Amino acid sequence: MTIKVAIAGASGYAGGEILRLLLGHPSYLSGDLQIGSLTAGSSAGASVADLLPHLPQLAHRIVEDTTPEILGDNDVVFLALPHGHSAAIGQALADRNPETVVIDCAADFRLQDAGEWEHYYGGEHAGNWPYGIPEMPGHREQLQGAKRIAVPGCFPTGATLASLPAVAAALVVPDLAVVSITGVSGAGKKAAVGLLGSEVMGNLKAYNTAGKHRHTPEITQNLAEVTDEEITVSFTPVLAPLPRGILTTITAPLAAGVTQDAAYETYRAFYQDEPFVHLLPEGQQPQTQNVVGSNMCHVQVEVDMRSGRLLMTSAIDNLTKGTGGAALQCMNLSLGWPEIAGLPQAAVAP
């Protein structure tokens, strides 16, 4: 059986990344996966050659309007749409065919708490779907065969994978100070003065500070799954002049008696069987240049005895492990395909 896959929002950065990875997927190369409907909003009617010239295999394709009717004739639908647009389309697709696998790359179905959704996003809470970080305990099993999947945010992916083992093993008091430095592609492909080259080049800027960023409750929600302690997260994102990449640093008060050897061994054991999380050798720190184009998360953990804190760090490509790669990883689990299929572990260098 050939699986037909559609991408809504195909002209954006997330949609383009999904397409890039699909074109290298073993099932696409064997003919078992077919790229079906490609849809968008304002760019509907344009060609892939004009919108995504880095994908020559699809240059002849024309992007269509995003409607449930066009998307419904597919086995898998990726929703790479702005927040607030996925819920209605996702429900319409479910009504048309409950067996259609719908994978949402926006935030519409990530949060479990309706109050948190209303506070950070506004509007009616659409509910929550199985959450797409397979490396979280129990989530891989939830994703296997799932027909509705919520892909995590890019910041929560890096922050969760950096700190999850420490919180789960009670290496820290779960009062986390999270700083994530991100490339500009995380803001999406839209015209905005603050994203102009003359604004970002040679400049660093914190934004949505002091608990205002929408990914704050998602990080808290994820870590709350592995501890009974109250979780506190102070999250500060920083915009950097990079196309891709997120470097996350997290500090938290060290629990009594935790040594460097114990912390490192905890992380080694937690991630030893995870194909897309790489614990670096002691003494090395994650760098965004070492994950570009890959579905990897590089992590490190260090005990700072002088301050009595644990330092947890991670690096991801926000468009791959942070969005498009995570979406394909979830698709593979949903369809029963090898989880690593089509997902690069090697980065582009230099």
- Residue-level pLDDT, tens digit, the chain, 350 residues: 899 999 999 999 999 999 999 999 999 999 999 999 999 988 898 999 999 999 999 999 999 999 999 999 999 999 999 888 888 998 899 888 899 999 999 999 999 999 999 999 888 898 899 999 999 999 999 999 999 999 999 999 999 999 999 999 999 999 999 999 999 877 666 667 666 777 777 889 999 999 889 999 999 999 999 999 999 999 999 999 988 999 999 999 999 999 999 999 999 999 999 999 999 999 999 999 999 999 999 999 999 999 999 999 999 999 999 999 999 999 999 999 999 999 999 999 88
Structure tokens at 345: 């572990």
Q: What is the pLDDT of residue 248?
A: 98
Q: What is the pLDDT of residue 148?
A: 95
Environment class of residue 241 by beta-carbon count within 10 Å: exposed (0-12), middle (13-18) or buried (19+)? Answer: middle
- 344 lies in a domain? no
- 349 lies in a domain? no
315 close to 291: Cβ distance less than 8 angstroms: yes
Q: Is 154 a catalytic residue?
A: yes
Strand arrangement, sheet containing 101-104? 64-65, 33-40, 3-8, 76-79, 101-104, 148-150
247 close to 286: Cβ distance less than 8 angstroms: yes
Both 159 and 238 in one domain: the answer is yes
Both 246 and 312 in one domain: the answer is yes
| Burial per residue of 127-160, b for 16 or more beta-carbon CB atoms within 10 angstroms, e otherwise | bbbbbbbbbbeebbebbbebbbbbbbbbbbbbbb
Both 139 and 269 in one domain: the answer is no
Domain count within the chain = 2
Structure tokens at 245: 């990449």
Both 169 and 137 in one domain: the answer is no
Question: Is the model's pTM score more than 0.85?
Answer: yes
Tell me the residue range of the domain where 290 lies: 155-316
**Which residue in 105, 154, 297, 330 is the catalytic one?**
154
Structure tokens at 77: 């639908």
Q: What is the pLDDT of residue 277?
A: 98
- 350 lies in a domain? no
Both 58 and 130 in one domain: the answer is yes
What backbone torsions phi and psi does residue 178 show, to the nearest 5 degrees? -110, 125
- 347 lies in a domain? no
- What is the helix (H) or strand (E) element at residue 297, kind and residue range? strand 297-304
